[in-house]
A and B are shown apart, each in its own frame.
Chain A
Amino acid sequence: MSKDWPLWEVFVRARGGMSHRHVGSVHAPDAEIALRHARDTYTRRMEGISLWVVPSAQISASDPSEDAAMFDPAEDKIYRHPTFYDIPDGITHI
């Protein structure tokens, strides 16, 4: 049965104010059942307070064969990290 069902990616919001995070996937015939399958599979132990499901087929992914062009150029750009500033004494929450 499940092989006939489309795959859905599942996102769980753990607490108010947090973003939804990807936790896995479920098979389901439609979005409503996908939400229930996600609830029964991924929130059995109080993992979340909100669920999203997205058809896996709707996700556009980067091409692994393009990894070099996509990601390697970031490797030597350490100046993009905000670590070159002197933080004055007495500044908190940074």
Chain B
Amino acid sequence: MAGTESEILFETLLRLGDDSLILGQRLGEWCGHAPSVEVDLSLANMGLDLIGQATHFLNAAGEAEGQGRDGDALAFHRDVLDFRNCWLVEQPNGDFAQTMARQFLFSTWQEMLFGHLEGSTNATIAAVAAKAVKEVRYHAELSAEWVIRLGDGTEESRRRMADGLDWMWRFVPELFEMDEAARQAAEAGIGADVTRFRADYDARIRAVLAEATLEAPSDQRPIVGGRRGHHSEHLGHVLAAMQYLPRSYPDATW
């Protein structure tokens, strides 16, 4: 597929926006359910950071598409097969350890990605990445602190963190997949060549796991396809909760 420049840009912005949107929605599910009020605020803050990023990326996606859709239309009136997020972000929260395992693996990657995207030839992507990379650095640090504390904690916390990492591990390879659309975006200077920071990513993950006295899970068969609309059964449930209100009451305001 040889896309036009606006098609490549639309696809790139959807992938960025959907990652942030779906993980933001997932973190929002914790609201009122976290182990303590302080953790509740931590998770909600991270979720709101991510939804802010999604708003920028998806509004820009709507402009690139040129069909009159804005970020809200793309977030709330698209069906599951049209979502372009990776599998990692749609995975269930599970317990707090599983949520932190997901956050650690994703935010570490997103921080490196945004670091590269600060040099994007697209001014919107470069500006959002430059602003958001500071938010994401905090997400990566906080989740790494929890991986270390739970891994090197009690017998129970260690088991839960190991289980959480084991659940999420098979979704990491997708983060570094360079399919045709990603290659075109990188060649155009819009997107990043994610393979360039794979080694840095692996080193950082392993350093944190070592501090947490945890073994890296054994590599499993990678699961890919989210970038092309193939998703786990979990995403439909996420969208049902997220999209119910604006679809049932299209003109609702508050």
Contact = CB atoms under 8 A, between A and B. Distances in A.
Interface of A: 1-2, 5, 26-30, 32-33, 36-37, 40-41, 44
Contact of A26 (B35, B38, B142): B38
Nearest to A28: B38
Contacts of A41: 37-38, 41
B36 interface: yes
A27 B38 CA distance: 7
B29 interface: no
B45 interface: yes
Contact of B35 (A1, A40, A44): A1
B37 A2 contact: yes
B38 A37 contact: yes
B228 interface: no
Nearest to A36: B142
Given A29-B149, A32-B145, A36-B142, A2 B42 contact: no
Interface residues of B, number: 11
A74 to B, nearest CB: 38
Interface in B136-186: 142, 145, 149
A38 B39 CA distance: 11
A40 B35 CA distance: 15
Contacts of A40: 38, 41-42, 45
B36 A27 contact: yes
Interface of B: 35-39, 41-42, 45, 142, 145, 149
B105 to A, nearest CB: 19
A41 B35 CA distance: 15
B35 to A, nearest CB: 4
A37 B34 CA distance: 13
Contact of B42 (A5, A32, A37): A37
Contacts of A32: 145
A33 B149 contact: yes
Most buried by B among A33, A36, A40: A40
A28 B37 CA distance: 11
A36 B37 contact: no
Contacts of B41: 37, 40-41, 44
A2 B149 CA distance: 15
Contacts of A26: 38
Most buried by A among B37, B38, B39, B145: B38
A4 to B, nearest CB: 10
Contacts of B145: 32-33, 36
